[in-house]
Amino acid sequence: MRIGILGYGNLGRGVECAVAQNDDMELVGVFTRRAPGSVKTVSGVPVFHADELANMQDQVDVLILCGGSATDLPEQTPEYAKLFNVVDSFDTHAKIPEHFAKVDASAQAAGKTAVISVGWDPGMFSLNRLYANAILRDGNDYTFWGKGVSQGHSDAVRRISGVKNAKQYTIPVDAALASVRACENPQLSTRQKHTRECFVVPEEGADLERIEAQIKNMPNYFADYDTTVHFISEEELLRDHAGIPHGGFVLRTGRTGKDGEHNHVIEYSLKLDSNPEFTACVLAAYARAAYRMNQRGMSGCKTVFDVAPADLSPLSGEEMRAQLL
Amino acid sequence: MRIGILGYGNLGRGVECAVAQNDDMELVGVFTRRAPGSVKTVSGVPVFHADELANMQDQVDVLILCGGSATDLPEQTPEYAKLFNVVDSFDTHAKIPEHFAKVDASAQAAGKTAVISVGWDPGMFSLNRLYANAILRDGNDYTFWGKGVSQGHSDAVRRISGVKNAKQYTIPVDAALASVRACENPQLSTRQKHTRECFVVPEEGADLERIEAQIKNMPNYFADYDTTVHFISEEELLRDHAGIPHGGFVLRTGRTGKDGEHNHVIEYSLKLDSNPEFTACVLAAYARAAYRMNQRGMSGCKTVFDVAPADLSPLSGEEMRAQLL
């Protein structure tokens, strides 16, 4: 199948690498709203202006949308679902119903297949919540994130005056994880689930105490957490904190038996060196599914819940049953 | 939907309890080849002779087959797929292709939907192998089982002369798990992955040294493992080893990026107090899917790979997207 990438940041570059790992996919090109000549791709694949897409409907089977959830995807996914099968990683949980409705209207009308909110959360974590809830009907759900870099929280720290650069890590609390795994079914406050750790490069002469207090008391972002602030040099930040790792844990504990006498723990976890590259791999797998579902006449907006696992795999049914079942 | 249970051992009792946890399911009855009067159900649901099933096609939407994989299911699943939508937990990996073909022929001809090999391995573990392989294309797979009771190995020990009773635990080796999680991509021998621990009740005056040697040298079952043998009293066995716990780990580690410079770990694990009750919960969820898929005209033999996750959940699409995505 022939793949196009719209948007060429960390995620777009990740998709470029992911497509190269899949023999049944061919990358047609990267599409950008910037001047194509200013964009250099990792693999040397051609770069086109996004406006070219309207003329390339017969050359692209699935368009993978690699823009951001704040402003790009709410416009792009409904728009491009009129022309292509599309996959996006829309992750503003509260706005998914609205996004779904808009994309569904476009895709249905055009007979295209659009899979939204693909990645790891939403995405693989969502799937694990669904499977675990369908199996253990009487139980409790827990999702922990990290250890990993939160872009939003890093940005929030950078906006403080006197801060030159910063990186923020979200870290799950070990004791909380242990309690969940022991089937103690704890009710956990925000503070009990995660801690936050900030590595901050201050501007010369900045008031470090004021910066630290401003971080720790920032509403929504930090006030409800135990936060540690480390002041370091720009050199240290680039040397020790250049990566974009992330991950997390989805757990469900539940009871079965006549009187709920047996406990069970289902746990799914990810430990990712590169958050965008992993998300990109999930997008590539769902691009395969979007293409196949469209070929079977299943059009409209879908989520990971609607996609049969077999549609993600390059293997045939016989191979899957022999090798993976 | 109206559920029937065929076969009433540990698994059948588990399904009885699982159905009671699902508001959209009603248990019509337990079907057995024994004298119905001799079977007492946990919930008091009626017991019928298996022969009655032929007359009850209009009263059962999905028949959950709770027999064994050795002799029951190879006959029962193809037979009953002619009359009902069915779900089974057939777990003889090597014979799945043959079982699939037979069940598919019956179910296709009758317009019924049959989901085979449902449980946790095959089942949830298989699904996790498939998802992880579809995402991380360049990587390695690992499955560890335990800590848990292996029925087959316990039976093998019980067959040794001088053994009155026995229970065998399969235990994953912590160092092997740690190496996998550290992305060291180890090549692990049988001995390096699992150890085996046996709790044996000897008959009075039995030669303990001979029994221990016979266990440890038993080909296929124990010879390739480091095995520990504990001799205990029948009282201790009943007090400390009455349960049927199990579980395990499915991991895939993989590389992404231009030169495979980033490592990722996907891990799924189960810790189960009751192996049959958990398997029963998975069967109940897939009974829901079998019913829905049949209503949409999707007949024939399916595995967990062919079932869209949404079909397992009692929630509507809107509810799922709002609560779980």
Whole-number average pLDDT of chain B: 97
- Over residues B125-132, the mean pLDDT reads 98
Confidence class for position A126, pLDDT limits 50, 70, 90: very high
B contacts of A281 (beta carbons < 8 Å): 135-137, 256
Confidence class for position A231, pLDDT limits 50, 70, 90: very high
Q: Which residue does chain B place closest to A284, by CA atoms?
A: B135
Confidence class for position A73, pLDDT limits 50, 70, 90: very high
A contacts of B129 (beta carbons < 8 Å): 324
Confidence class for position B209, pLDDT limits 50, 70, 90: very high
Confidence class for position B202, pLDDT limits 50, 70, 90: very high
Check if the beta carbon of residue A161 is closer than 8 Å to that of residue A193: no
C-alpha neighbours within 13 Å on the C-beta side of residue A280: 33
Whether B277 sits inside 8 A of A257 (CB atoms) is yes
Task: Fill in the amino acid letter for B308.
Answer: A
pLDDT tens, residue by residue, A163-221: 999 999 999 999 999 999 999 999 999 999 999 999 999 999 999 999 999 999 999 99
Torsion of CA B310, B316, B318, B321, to 10 degrees: -40
Element (H, E) at A256: strand A246-256
ipTM: 0.97
Burial class (CB in 10 A: 0-12, 13-18, 19+), A298: middle
Confidence class for position A83, pLDDT limits 50, 70, 90: very high
Confidence class for position A111, pLDDT limits 50, 70, 90: very high
pLDDT tens, residue by residue, B164-175: 999 999 999 999
Q: Which residues in chain B (239-298) have CB-CB distances under 8 A to chain A?
A: 256-258, 262-274, 277-278, 280-282, 285, 288
Rounded alpha-carbon distances, angstroms, from residue A141 to A58, A180, A214: 45, 9, 33
pLDDT at A234: 97
Whether B100 sits inside 8 A of A127 (CB atoms) is no
pLDDT at A124: 98
Element (H, E) at A265: strand A262-272
Element (H, E) at B57: none
Strand partners, A264: A254, B272
Instruction: Identify the residue among A131, A142, A258 best suited for mutation to test binding to B, counting B beta carbons within 10 A and taking the highest.
Output: A131
pLDDT at A27: 98
A contacts of B274 (beta carbons < 8 Å): 256-257, 262, 264
Q: Which residues in chain B (204-243) have CB-CB distances under 8 A to chain A?
A: none
B contacts of A309 (beta carbons < 8 Å): 127, 130-131, 134, 304-307, 309
Confidence class for position A262, pLDDT limits 50, 70, 90: very high
pLDDT at B80: 98
pLDDT tens, residue by residue, B287-322: 999 999 999 999 999 999 999 999 999 999 999 999
Q: Which residues in chain A (180-199) have CB-CB distances under 8 A to chain B?
A: 181
pTM of the model: 0.97
